[in-house]
């Protein structure tokens, strides 16, 4: 793999938050305030301790990362073990469409397989052809046997 990825620890929280904020702004969201930063910190911080909730990786050089990947873990009776969910994957616009995201997902999948994780899954908007195409190119398939339903608590 030519693109370096580094498991993010607590010392990379501010770098990761900067990238998450940049992603949100690029997606057309409003400029972040202290409430947004606090919410993002509460969501990301537990993933940086190496626990069983999930993990975050910085993509590219640690000083000026090209992006990040954030995964969370769950348990599946049907799969017979742990599953991982791609919660967020961001690559800076200036380096997109160079295969970096696909490389990153493959490298993470190899690590997860070694840790006996049974599946890597992603939730995307149903009609998002760009994300569907990207994930299909990285080896993901649509599972037509399942529908994701949510009860927001």
pLDDT tens for residues 39-62?
999 999 999 977 789 999 999 988
Residue at 113 is within a domain: yes
- pLDDT tens-digit series, residues 63-100: 889 999 999 999 999 899 999 999 999 999 999 999 99
Residue at 36 is within a domain: yes
Question: How far, in Å, CA of 136 to CA of 23, rounded?
Answer: 22
The CATH number of the domain where 45 resides is what? 3.40.630.30
Residue at 144 is within a domain: no
Residue at 130 is within a domain: yes
Name the pairing type of β-strands 81-91 and 67-76.
Answer: antiparallel
- pLDDT tens-digit series, residues 111-153: 999 999 999 999 888 777 888 888 888 888 888 888 777 777 7
Residue at 146 is within a domain: no
Number of domains in the chain: 1
Residue at 142 is within a domain: no
Residue at 150 is within a domain: no
Residue at 153 is within a domain: no
* Owning domain of residue 10: 5-137
Residue 149: its pLDDT value, please? 76
């Amino acid at each position: 793999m030519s693109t370096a990825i580094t498991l993010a620890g607590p010392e990379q929280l501010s770098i990761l938050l900067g990238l998450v904020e940049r992603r949100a702004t690029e997606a057309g969201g409003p400029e972040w305030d202290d409430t947004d930063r606090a919410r993002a910190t509460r969501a990301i911080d537990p993933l940086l301790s190496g626990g069983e909730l999930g993990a975050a990786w910085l993509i590219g050089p640690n000083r000026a990362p090209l992006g990040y990947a954030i995964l969370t873990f769950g348990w599946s009776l049907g799969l017979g073990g742990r599953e991982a969910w791609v919660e967020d994957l961001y690559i800076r616009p200036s380096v997109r469409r160079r295969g970096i995201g696909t490389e990153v997902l493959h490298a993470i999948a190899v690590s997860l397989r070694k840790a006996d994780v049974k599946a890597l899954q992603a939730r995307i908007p149903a009609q998002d052809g760009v994300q569907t195409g990207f994930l299909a190119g990285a080896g993901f398939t649509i599972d037509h046997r399942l529908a994701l339903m949510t009860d927001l608590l």
